[in-house]
Structures are given as structure tokens and as C-alpha cells.
Structure 1
Amino acid sequence: MSGTERLKQLAGIMELPGFPKASGMRVVSAEPGKVTMALARRPDLMQFFGHFHGGVITALADHAAGACATSSMPEGKIAVTVEIKINFLAPADGEEIIARAETIQGGSTIGVVKVEVVSLKAGAERTCAFATATMRAMDLPAGFR
């Protein structure tokens, strides 16, 4: 599958009903083993200090990791989370957060992905979180192929 086809496939998955679509997550770029996703600032995604909520940051990292692992899998497979660990490094107070995921170890059933999440504010990036995720390959349900 070409990079363009993969990007379209992942973008299509993000358009399905659920939290990724409702929150506004979007796929910025995708190639086998590397995916970038972003999420624009909205009041309902913030915590009480005005920074992106940690759960929202984690959700973006999780979806980027899943998309990244899926990007290396054979057609008809999708990655689901087995485990995710995240370290919060700085407040995410920018106009958007960007998750850059890269496969560390791919496999036919289990993959490990690293994700750096940055906060983009006035054109400058600051790393706000770093995650690692273990993902498992599952068959994509027939209705989603």
C-alpha cells in the first residue's frame, strides 16, 4: 500500500464515530512505521488551568501509536492497545498538540511504538509528553474494510 493510500485509510478510520472524530484528531502524515497526528485546542479539551488535559494528551498518543502500528501491518489488520505508558514533561498550553509516533519493534502480532507529543505555541514546539505503547494486531472487522 502506498503512503497516499495508507494516509487515506488511516484518515478514513479517524472519521468513524467516536472520540477521535468528536475531539478533532486528524492524521497529518503517515508512512509505514511513522505517523503524525494533531489535535487543535478547544475549551472542552482543557483542564482547569487552561492546559490540554492529560487524558486528552494520552488519547492522542494512543491513537497515534495505534495508527503507526497499523501502518506496518498487512491489509485487513488493525492495532489495538495492550499497554501504554506516558510521561508528562511540560504543560501543553499551545494552539495544538502534535503526536509523532514511530515503530520501535514491529511484528506479525505484537508491536512497540514510541510517541513524542509536542505543544505548538506561536510557532515554537515544546515536548510535553513521551509515551511507549505495546500494540496487538487484530483482524479489521469486515464492515470497516
Structure 2
Amino acid sequence: MTEISLDRGRRVLAEQPFSVLIGSALDRLEAGQAELSLTLRDDHLQQHGFAHGGVVSYLADNALTYAGGTVLGDSVTLEFKINYVRPAIGEKLIARARVKASGKSQAVCDCDVYAIRDGVEKLCATAQGTIWKVSA
């Protein structure tokens, strides 16, 4: 098991230029779990007025890697798949990821992404990925 620290996780997020650009936040980080959020802005939306799939996908990808990193240490996404189940309409998105299984160098994680509108959460996407430990 690796050392888990929300403050350290937030520092890593702050070192990711794209995460800073998009404005995401790491809200929770504990053994086998992570939660990222994003307050939606107009520049996150596509032509129909809901969050662009790339924005939803980014949150899932990063949340999966953070969750995997809690058991593996420094990690990157090896692969992931996402299913969009409804348009991401609301003021905010939250991605909640969990480790399902892990070994010495890989972890399989899943993630649900919710759109929050008027205080109500609705599932808008679900993802699964394999997270890979970066070798020293």
C-alpha cells in the first residue's frame, strides 16, 4: 500500500497543466477511492448545451488513475472504456472511482460520473480502466 494524502494528490493535480486549465478539483482521496469534481463553465459545453464528452471522459480517466494510485503509487492509465448513459447537464460534474482489483503493477478500477443539477445527482457516464504503476 502506498502513502495516501489528499494534500499530495492536490499538489499532483496542480502540476497537470490540463487539469489546471479545465479547473478540476480533487475532493476525496483514500485507500482504493478517489473523487474529482468540475464546476461546469460555458467553455466545457458542446453545441447542445451539455458537457462535452471529452470533459466527462477526462474526469473519469483522472479519477480512475487517482484511485489506482492509492494502491500502486505513481501511476498512469494503461487503458479505459467509457459509456455515456445520459447528457451531462448541470452545474457540476463529480467522478467517483474505486479500485476493483489490484496486483503489484496494475489495478482495475471503475468510475461513475454524475451531473449535478439543482442539487440532484444523475449518472451521466460509467467507465472502467486498467491503471499501471510507473517504474522508478
Fold conserved between structures, TM > 0.5: yes
Q: Which residue of 2 aligns with 1:18?
A: 17
- Structure 2: which amino acid aligns with 1:119? A
How far does residue 139 in structure 1 lie from its aligned partner after superposition? 3.7
- Structure 2: which amino acid aligns with 1:132? Q
Q: Which residue of 2 aligns with 1:137?
A: 133
1:124 has 2:120 as partner? yes
Q: Which residue of 2 aligns with 1:143?
A: none
Q: Which residue of 2 aligns with 1:108?
A: 104
1:62 has 2:61 as partner? yes
- Structure 2: which amino acid aligns with 1:79? S
- Would you say the 8 A contact 2:94–2:113 is kept in 1? yes
Q: Which residue of 2 aligns with 1:40?
A: 39
Q: How many Å separate the matches in 1 of 2:64 and 2:34?
A: 8
Q: How many Å separate the matches in 1 of 2:75 and 2:65?
A: 5
- Structure 2: which amino acid aligns with 1:37? L
1:75-114 Cα shifts (integer Å, max 9, x gaps): xx31111111000001101101000000001121011100
Q: How many Å separate the matches in 2 of 1:139 and 1:39?
A: 30
Structure 1: unaligned runs, 5 residues or longer: 141-145
How far does residue 10 in structure 1 lie from its aligned partner after superposition? 0.7
Q: Secondary structure at the match of 2:74?
A: strand
Q: Secondary structure at the match of 1:72?
A: helix
TM-score (norm 2): 0.94
How far does residue 123 in structure 1 lie from its aligned partner after superposition? 0.5
1:22-81 Cα shifts (integer Å, max 9, x gaps): 1011111110101011011111111111100001100110000111111112xxx31111
TM-score (norm 1): 0.88
In percent, how many aligned pairs have the same letter? Answer: 30
Q: Which residue of 2 aligns with 1:83?
A: 79
How far does residue 2 in structure 1 lie from its aligned partner after superposition? 6.4
The total of aligned residue pairs comes to 135
Report the RMSD for the aligned CA atoms in angstroms: 1.3
Structure 2: unaligned runs, 5 residues or longer: none
Which aligned runs of 4 or more in structure 1 are off by greater than 4 angstroms?
none
- Would you say the 8 A contact 2:3–2:70 is kept in 1? no
